[in-house]
Amino acid sequence: MKDRNFLDHYFLSVYNKLEADALLFNRKLPHSGMIGTENEMALANLLRDFLPPRFGIELSGIVIDHLGGESKQCDIIIYDANSFPKYFRKVFPIEIVYGVIEVKTNLTSGESVTAMDNLESLFSLDFHPKLTNFWITQSKKKNLKAQPPFGAIFAYRSEAKNFETFMNWFPFSYVLRGIPLSTESPPEVRSLTIAALDKGIIEIASSNRHVHRRIPIAMEDAYRRSFDAIVAGKKEYIDPAKALLFFLESIWVSVLEHRLHPGFDIRSYMSYAMDVFLDMGSVDNTD
């Protein structure tokens, strides 16, 4: 029980820090666009502290594929920091992207559509790497497959009063958007996580038709920090610290289970540019 109490206090302190940053930003910045940017920064800083260093965290970037496709601007991109060439700056090849998070200060029905439109632009990119003949052979021999990046939506608050209303904003069909996925073993799986601190968590995966819902009911001693929500027609107290814990756990599992294809070579994005150079031959410096 002592360990459990320690974890409860720890994640409460993490939540309080996130909320304090958001409250400070929202009070100081009257322009809604600036508020949104600062709230994205608060979550990004939390993720940097939470995830191992090999998982890079970038704000306001674009994901591209080797066919020339590009996503809309993404709020937060989680990528492989060990494989990312820094001269690409805000542009991330999809083959090294683990997932994308859209951040909302107050999630409404309309904002949920906007967030999903942004994620659909990610889901529509070709995540299959351009492989050399060697890696084509190895992929067949070892059954190596690329996996699509996950999508996530994180909201500090939600306009919905009922959890069921919140849930209905995100039908299962959302994970089927984008390029078709292979069902051959091992199947390509696209996942979507939605979190609102005053509602809870929704997790959807294309591998099954099950929608997993986690509602963080507050204990009596947490009522003061909790939010009211109607769940199955009954008033419940939602603990935002637990909701944040659920979200971080979901992101943790998503990045650790995501396998990047070992055959990806960043030079596959440079092949066209390299082809336009003229070979002027060597220069004899013996004189």
Q: 83 versus 255: which is more confidently predicted?
A: 255
Per-residue pLDDT, 20 = 65
Q: 15 versus 25: which is more confidently predicted?
A: 15
Per-residue pLDDT, 286 = 56
Determine the Cα–Cα distance for residues 60 and 67; give it in Å rounded to an integer.
Answer: 22
Work out how many domains the chain is built from and give that number.
1
Residue-wise pLDDT for 196-208, tens only, equals 999 999 999 998 8
* Strand order, beta sheet including 74-80: 91-93, 55-64, 74-80, 97-107, 150-158, 191-196, 200-205, 211-214
How much is the average pLDDT of 77-94? 87
How much is the average pLDDT of 203-220? 87
How much is the average pLDDT of 10-26? 62
Does 27 have pLDDT greater than 50?
no
How much is the average pLDDT of 3-30? 58
**Tokens at 61, concatenated:** 């970037």
How much is the average pLDDT of 36-57? 89
Determine the Cα–Cα distance for residues 196 and 81; give it in Å rounded to an integer.
Answer: 28
Does 282 have pLDDT greater than 80?
no
284, part of any domain: no
232, part of any domain: yes
| From 1-5, 216-220, 222-226, 249-253, the region with the lowest mean pLDDT | 1-5
- Which residues 6+ apart lie within 8 Å of 90 measured at CB? 58, 60, 61, 62
Write the secondary structure of the chain as one string of H (helix), E (strand) and C (coil).
CHHHHHHHHHHHHHHHHHHHHHHHHHHHCCCHHHHHHHHHHHHHHHHHHHCCCCEEEEEEEEEECCCCCECCCEEEEEEECCCCCHHHCCEEEHHHEEEEEEEEEEECHHHHHHHHHHHHHHHCCCCCCCCCHHHHHHHHHHCCCCCCCEEEEEEEEECCCEHHHHHHCCCHHHHHCCCCCCCCCCCCCCEEEEEECCCEEEEEECCCCCEEEECCECCHHHHHHCEEEEECCEEEEECHHHHHHHHHHHHHHHHHHCCCCCCCCHHHHCHHHHHCCCCCCCCCCCC
How much is the average pLDDT of 225-246? 89
Determine the Cα–Cα distance for residues 269 and 108; give it in Å rounded to an integer.
Answer: 38
252, part of any domain: yes
282, part of any domain: no
149, part of any domain: yes
Residue 108 confidence class, pLDDT cut points 50, 70, 90: very high
Residue-wise pLDDT for 164-187, tens only, equals 999 999 999 999 999 999 888 888
Residue 86 confidence class, pLDDT cut points 50, 70, 90: confident
Per-residue pLDDT, 279 = 52
286, part of any domain: no
107, part of any domain: yes
Q: 262 versus 209: which is more confidently predicted?
A: 262
- Domain extent at residue 149: 2-275
Q: 198 versus 6: which is more confidently predicted?
A: 198
Per-residue pLDDT, 209 = 75
Task: Of 22-26, 27-31, 77-81, 138-142, give the range with the top mean pLDDT.
Answer: 77-81
CB-CB contact of 286 with 239 (8 Å): no
Average pLDDT, the chain: 85
Does 256 have pLDDT greater than 70?
yes
274 phi/psi in degrees, rounded to 5:
-70, -35
123, part of any domain: yes
Does 140 have pLDDT greater than 70?
yes
Does 93 have pLDDT greater than 60?
yes
Residue-wise pLDDT for 238-252, tens only, equals 988 888 888 999 999
